[in-house]
Each structure stands twice: as structure tokens, then as C-alpha cells.
Chain A
Amino acid sequence: MKSSVITFPGSNCDRDMDVALKKFGFRNKMVWHADAELPKSDLVVLPGGFSYGDYLRCGSMASKSKIMQSVINFANSGGMVMGICNGFQILVETGLVPGVLLRNKYLEFICKNVFVKINDKKNKYFKNLDNEVLEFHVAHNEGNYFCTNDQLKEIEDNNQIAINYCDENGKIEDQFNPNGSIKNIAGIFNKEKNVLGMMPHPERMIDTSLSGEDGSLFFKTLINNLK
């Protein structure tokens, strides 16, 4: 399986994602934001970080990068595109997934492990994953997902919510919401479910010495689903 990770000025999880993808069998290429062409890929990842220093609005400037037109075309033709953290922020700025990401409710950067419940498994990201709940890691300042009531209705009708913040047993309650996201939303799909944006970093959970190993489950499932 071939993957591409886009590096924007200010990306800082691009290497971590490269390490994770390769560990689970992807042949990964790093792609520079100013390139026009996307290499042939089965998966494109927009990594975390602070593209353009988060100036103007998180993800806003990166969404206008030269490479992004190719990424948008790739997504619109059904290609798998995953945005993690700042990558999620870039995705909402392109409109590939609905909604916006506001500043965290308590106005503070938050870095810690969280539990997320998988809401939908009829897609190539989570299909065949045995677990209902995964322990992931978040590290962000603007992860407070928000959308209009109409958008929310549409998202729910189309079953576009990918993962929600919850406790270790999968209970979705306010107290397990780290950033104030509407409905505890941690990740969301486009209508066709080939585009996934999420705040948690699975690439930081890929061996027992790190924060945990549920990221390994995620990547193993992902590559198998793409085969």
C-alpha cells in the first residue's frame, strides 16, 4: 500500500506519521506543500502541527497550498484522505468535511490520553476493528468541534460521526469531553466516508513504551482494509 504525508511549513507530526505508516507496512512518501502533483497513493495523510503557525485561523492558509488542489481532487474521486489534528483543521477549511474547530472550551492546550468510541464501522477506516473503544492521545488547542444545527442533523442522518470522546467503557458524557466539542465529536467523515478528520493522534500510540498501543490496532486495520 502506498501512502503520502504532506508537509506544510509548520507541520510537526509529519515524521511521526511517516514512522507509524512504515511500521505497519505502508510505502510512504513525504510530499512538499508547494508540489503540484500527488504521487500515486492509496492513502493521503495531512499530519498534525501548526501549519503556517496557526496564523489567521488554524489550517486556513494550508488549505490553500498548491498541493491541496490535488488532494481535494483525489478525495473527490473517492481517494482515502485522513487529517489528524492540524490536518483535521485543514480538512474543515477545505470544506471536505463539514463544521469548524474552535478553541478548546477552557482556553488551554491539552495533551493527554482520551478514550474514543467508534460510532460507525461501515467504512474503510474502522471496518473489522474488534474494539468498540480505543485509547488515543490528544494534543491540541483548537479541537472544539462545532457546526450548525442543520449541519448536525445532516451529519447524524448520514452517520458521519466517526468517533466520540467517552470513558473506558464507551460511555459518552460531558465529563469525558476534553475540549467542549458538540456531541463529544472527536472525528468526522465526509458523506462518502473516504475522508476522515480527527483530533486524536493514533501515530503516538504505536508501541507499549509510548502512551499505549491502540494506535497500532488502528493502523493494522486500516492497511488490511485497503488491501
Chain B
Amino acid sequence: MIVNEQVAVDHGLKKDEYNKICKLLKRTPNITELGIFSAMWNEHCSYKSSRLHLKKLPTKGKKVIQGPGENAGVIDIEDNDAIVFKIESHNHPSFIEPYQGAATGVGGIMRDVFTMGARPIANLNSIHFGSPQHKKTKNLLRGVVHGIGGYGNCMGVPTIAGQTSFDSSYNGNILVNAMTLGLVKKDKIFYSKAAGLNKPVIYVGSKTGRDGIHGASMASASFDEKIEEKKPTVQVGDPFTEKLLLEACLELMAGDSIIAIQDMGAAGLTSSSIEMASKGNLGIEINLNKVPCRETKMTPYEIMLSESQERMLIVLENGKEEHAKKIFDKWNLDFAVIGKTTKSKKIELYFDKEKVADIPVNILVENSPMYDRKWKKAKLPKKNKIKKEDIKHLKIIDVLKKILANPNICSKEWIWQQYDHTVMGDTIQKPGGDAGVVRVHGTDKAVAASVDSSAVYCWAHPLTGGKQVVCESFRNLVSVGAKPIAITNCLNFGSPENQENMGEFVECVQGIGEASDYLKFPVVSGNVSFYNQTKDHGIKPTPAIGGVGLIKDYKNMITMDFKEVDNLVLVIGKTEGHIDQSLFARTILDEKNGPPPEVNLFNEKNNGETLLKLIDNNLIKSAHDVSLGGIITAIAKMCIKGKKGIKIKKPKYLISEIEYLFAEDQGRYIVEINKKNFKKVADILDKNAVHFEELGAICENELYIDDKTKVTIDELSTSNKSWLTKYMSK
């Protein structure tokens, strides 16, 4: 095939990018080389629109062992233990083929983690669908949940937490973000940097097929009406092979045979080999005839661009081939020496004794395009004034029931019961709480993880929204008694070529950066997913934040269920009555305008750290952060979980009862304490200048508000638990 500008454009490259390639190579690339460039220079692999802004994120900290740039981030959890974690998107493939798209998303992120030598110990996910009324939503939801479960369950890794939302902006572009945590010894972490000359380059895992060719390029473009034609670009997952690959890799990693290891994810053999060479400042020579293939007559182009799953590339120490092969034979996996490291600093490919590609590595990596895209700054919307007559007729209990049954608040048990969340025998906080918690096997330590996003806030004001998501992650970890350590982010946005979407990206990233810097909650890994749009309709900006924290003694973990009758319930943090962009405003008043709640980073940090002090002093019986739906929704959930009631008295405030109960002001927690400890708790809160209010006391069976209104917890529980099950069984 003759390569020209049109062929390059068909590969998703821009004309000037193609001209740059010809200039750098000083010749026209052949078709295999063009394929390699298109794979390396697409948005998904090159981060060409985002790199400039991502550089500004805080990525360092005392506990950070490895920040962005490797397969995943690594943090120190003491005693020579470290946690490897990352979140990644698989949005485009999941919309085209929900089961395989979601499954391979989970498979891919687990591979990123065990590539670094860590055994995966927990999975999480953040999934977002169109309006429940949209004709595709139900099938997409079912397919995605089956896919996530199908892969994670088979791998034997518990899925411990997640987040699901519905919004019409995802009608044509669902989001599927998967996160994995792995456990590794600090001195046994593996990296992707190749080193040494003439070291054997090994291919292990599944055979290469024609699936997923151009997957990464597909994920770097918008959808249109020809979406069905893209099905062949979706990879097909085989969790069984991945389980074998995991065990085989960990067995090999126990020794000292491996110099570098890299999984074949997006852009398959192309990006894995180039990345290893680039990091090691070396060349790599590969004989493509040696690559184990599943199908006959595969061309070099297809072999290099296939995104077949469950494959790894390893640079071994000389002389270790036999030892390594034995391990992979034992696990019935392919093992082939396909090439070697060279000093050429080029990627050189041979097929049928001919050289089929010859590209200097630095051209592909360092010279890849980087754009300073135009972007528009968002204005802070004006505040709405709630009219008294709009809320006068509202009955609080009816509103509460409606909110508890709202698709974005309701219990997601239907989803997480389909995920094995207890395998590995260390899950001490299951899905449905503020964060999932797993013990560090055989120790007293536990790791908490949560994944959050607030697309509505980010859409209303990206800078505030970006900050808020990080704070919410921080709060969710604090609520279970964990000290927040670091985050991973998955940045889901529309087209970077659209100034408004690009603006949302830039300002959300700025917000994330500010909050993570202030909270000492650095970003150690992440992924950007642009072009989440169909034709010109983009999604609401949806940065998802995965937070990880440490609990030193797992017996001190906190859960959100109310524990004991007569215990006191407090609200930590000040309630100003911010209703704009709240679930109440959007669903009950049908008011979609206005600014999101303000984020005060000082309060976030101070309130969270003070709550951790209270927890350390064993003064807290249960805790839950206040988020969507405000104080009353948080309280109702604690009642439902604990099967207890509460008598609430609204503090004497200027704001109305509705505003007090449904406002979504930030930096707040609900906590349960023993009456006799009130003074101790109050002293600590006062000493740290943390605002708090006494809300009421726990009782049996019913929720009372100011003695005049009441509702049974059973009724609230039914409202909360029935929507999703009913929806999915229709």
C-alpha cells in the first residue's frame, strides 16, 4: 500500500502531523511505520492536548514512591509495604460493546498493576450512563456490570467500591473507569525501563489476533452514525488467561530474572516496546515472525497494532530464558524470545527476513505532537434565590423519599451484588459505605479506597468542581478512619478541539491541582479520555478521582451505620444553606442553573484532620460525609444501614428547614458519639476551631424531625432500595 497524506488522515493523523513525520524520518513512512506513528501519536497514547496541563498537577510527597509516568503510581504504607494503584477509562469500547469493553477495561488496569510486581487486592469502578429513560441505558448498564463482574470475579480480586450515575449527557457516550490497587514489597517493585544491550526481549501471555486493531485511535475520536462499524476495534477479554498470566508473572518476579516489564495495553506491541526502549534510552529489534499469532497470515502492520489482551513484554537477564520459560510452560502460556535490546536507539522490525520498520525511538516519543489548545474560561454562575412559595408546599418526608429513590442516590446493591467483593478474605468494608476497605493480608493494617466524581458541579463551574471532587475523595477516606495518602485521576471530557470542552478540562485540572496540593493528597497516576462526544454533543466534564488511604489498625475502622440508641449525632462543618446545583434544586425544584457549593480548602483539611483525631481517640461510633442530598439524606442512609431511627432538632438558624436539611455545603460530616463523651468531643472540635452542631439522638425505628414529622426507617429503606432493582427487572 502506498502511503500518502490521505492514508495518514484515514489513520486519524492530521495533515501537518503527517508532514512532520516525513520531515523527521527524511522519507515517506511505509504502511507499518505509519500505523506505528498513528498509534503513538493519537490522543489516547500521546496526551498531546493534555500534557501541558497535567504537568501542573502536584505529584510528589513523602509517601510517593512512584508518580505518573509508569504503569501505575506507587505509595508507601510502611513496613516495606507499598500500594500500586491507578484508574483508567474504557469509555469508547464500552459504548460499542458493553460486556467486552468493560471487561477488558478491568483486565487492562489489573495488568498495569501486576506489571509492577504487585498482586491486585481490590478493584473499584466509576460508571456513568445516560438518562434511565434512554432506550440504550438499561442494556448498557447490564452489559457493563456483567463485564466488570465477569472479569474481576474470575480473577479472584474483590470489587470493593464504586460509583454509578445517570445523566442525559452520557446518552451517546457512557463512561467506564476501572481502578485497581495492588500490594507489593517496596524492594520488589518492577519498572518498564529497559537496560543493558543484547538482552532478550520476551513475549508472554495470549497469542496475538486481529482484535482491537486501532483501538487506541478509535478512543481518540468522536462517535458518529457509523459507530456499529467500529465493533472490530473492541478487544475481547479472557480473564482466565489473565489469571494465569498474573500467577506466572508473580512467580517469575519472585526471582531476579527481569530487567523491565511492560504490559501490552493500548497500541499493543507498538507502545510497549517503544516505551521500554525510550525509558532505557536504547533500541529494540524484533523479529515479527517470532510473535505467537492466533490467526494465519497476519501482517507486520496487524501484529504491531493488535490490542489482543493478556500479553506482556519482558526484557530478561541473559541466560534466564530457560528458567522463565519453565514458569510460563507450567501455566500453559505462550513464551517467545522475539528480539533483543540494541544500541541503535531505533525500533527495528523484521518480517520474512526483511526490515519492515526502522524508526528512531525519540522521534516517536519526544517529538510527538503537543498542543496548547485554545480554551474558554468559565464564569461563575449567579446564585439563584429560592422563592418561599416554591418550597412552602413541600413536605420534607416526601422530598426525602423522592431523593432517596433518585437514580443517583439510590442503593446500588443490584450492581455490587454481582461483583465478588469478599474473595481474598480481607474485605472489611463492603461496597455501599463511604469507601471500600481491605486488610493488608496478615497484618493489622488496612487500605481504604474510594472513587468519586461530581459532573454536575464540574459542569456548573469547572474550577470549583475540580476542587470539590478531590475534597469528596478526602472526606470519604476520612469517614472510614483512613488517613488519605494519594489519588489517581481519570479525566473524562468532550473534544479538546472545542474551546468550551477544553476550558472545562483546563479548569477542572487546575481545581484538582489546587485541592490536592493543599490537602497534601498528590496525584500519582491517571489517564485522560477526550472525545467523549457524539457528533458535537459532549459529556458533562467528569473527572473521576480515586483516593487511597491507610488505616493503621483495622480494628479502628469506622462504618456509617448508626450503632446504638441514645447516642448523640453531630454535624461537623458549617451549613450555610447552599441549594444551587444540589440534588434538591435539580430534581425537586427543576432548577439547573447556579453555582456549585463553594469549596473552602482550609475547612476541608481542618475538619477532616480533626475528625481523624476524634477517631484516633476512639470517640466516634459511626461517621458519614455529607454530600448529594445534604444532611437529611446522609442521616437517612445511616439510619437505613444501622436499622435505627433518630430524633432530629434543627438548630436555630436563619435559614429555612429545607435549606438546612438539603443544602450541599462542603466539608461536612455526620458523626455518632456516646453521650458521655460529648464534652471530650466538643473540646477537641473547639480547640481546632471546627464548627459543629448537635443534631439529635438515635432512637428505634423512626426518623423524627422537630417532633412533628416522622417516618419509619423501613419506609425510607424501601424508597432507597427499590428503584434500581425495579428498573432492571422491567
Residues of A that sit less than 8 Å from B by CB: 9-10, 12-13, 15-16, 19-20, 48-50, 52-55, 108-112, 137, 139, 141, 201, 203-204, 206, 209-211
- A53 nearest in chain B by CB position: B240
Chain B residues bordering chain A, tally (CB within 8 A):
32
Out of A48, A53, A209, name the residue touching B554 (CB < 8 Å): A209
* B425–A50 CB distance below 8 A: no
Q: Tally of A-B residue pairs with Cβ under 8 A?
A: 84
Given A9-B332, A10-B244, A54-B154, A210-B424 contact (CB < 8 Å): no
Chain B nearest CB: distance from A62 CB in Å?
A: 12
- Please name all residues of chain A whose beta carbon is closer than 8 Å to the beta carbon of B331 when the two chains form the complex: 9
- A17 nearest in chain B by CB position: B425
In whole angstroms, how far apart are the Cα atoms of A52 and B331 in the complex?
11
Out of A48, A53, A141, A203, name the residue touching B238 (CB < 8 Å): A53
* A50–B424 CB distance below 8 A: no
- B391-445 residues with Cβ-Cβ distance < 8 A to A are 416-428, 430, 439
Out of A50, A111, A201, A204, name the residue touching B240 (CB < 8 Å): A50
Question: Is B155 positioned at the interface, with any CB of A under 8 Å from its CB?
Answer: yes
* B422–A204 CB distance below 8 A: yes
Out of A12, A48, A110, A209, name the residue touching B417 (CB < 8 Å): A110
- A215 nearest in chain B by CB position: B425
- Please name all residues of chain A whose beta carbon is closer than 8 Å to the beta carbon of B243 when the two chains form the complex: 9-10, 12, 50, 53
* A55–B425 CB distance below 8 A: no
- Please name all residues of chain A whose beta carbon is closer than 8 Å to the beta carbon of B153 when the two chains form the complex: 50, 109, 139, 141
In whole angstroms, how far apart are the Cα atoms of A48 and B420 in the complex?
12
* B239–A206 CB distance below 8 A: no
* B428–A53 CB distance below 8 A: no
Given A50-B240, A210-B425, A12-B156 contact (CB < 8 Å): yes
Question: Is B555 positioned at the interface, with any CB of A under 8 Å from its CB?
Answer: yes
In whole angstroms, how far apart are the Cα atoms of A32 and B331 in the complex?
11
Chain A nearest CB: distance from B634 CB in Å?
A: 24
In whole angstroms, how far apart are the Cα atoms of A54 and B149 in the complex?
14
- Please name all residues of chain B whose beta carbon is closer than 8 Å to the beta carbon of A52 when the two chains form the complex: 240
- B728 nearest in chain A by CB position: A108
* B418–A109 CB distance below 8 A: yes
* A111–B420 CB distance below 8 A: yes
* A112–B417 CB distance below 8 A: yes
* B425–A203 CB distance below 8 A: yes
In whole angstroms, how far apart are the Cα atoms of A170 and B136 in the complex?
42
* A50–B154 CB distance below 8 A: yes
In whole angstroms, how far apart are the Cα atoms of A137 and B153 in the complex?
15
Chain A nearest CB: distance from B204 CB in Å?
A: 15
In whole angstroms, how far apart are the Cα atoms of A169 and B417 in the complex?
23
Nearest 9 A/B pairs, CB to CB: A12-B156, A53-B240, A16-B425, A50-B154, A209-B428, A139-B420, A109-B418, A204-B422, A109-B149
- B439 nearest in chain A by CB position: A209
- Please name all residues of chain B whose beta carbon is closer than 8 Å to the beta carbon of A111 when the two chains form the complex: 416-422
Given A139-B423, A210-B425, A9-B244 contact (CB < 8 Å): yes
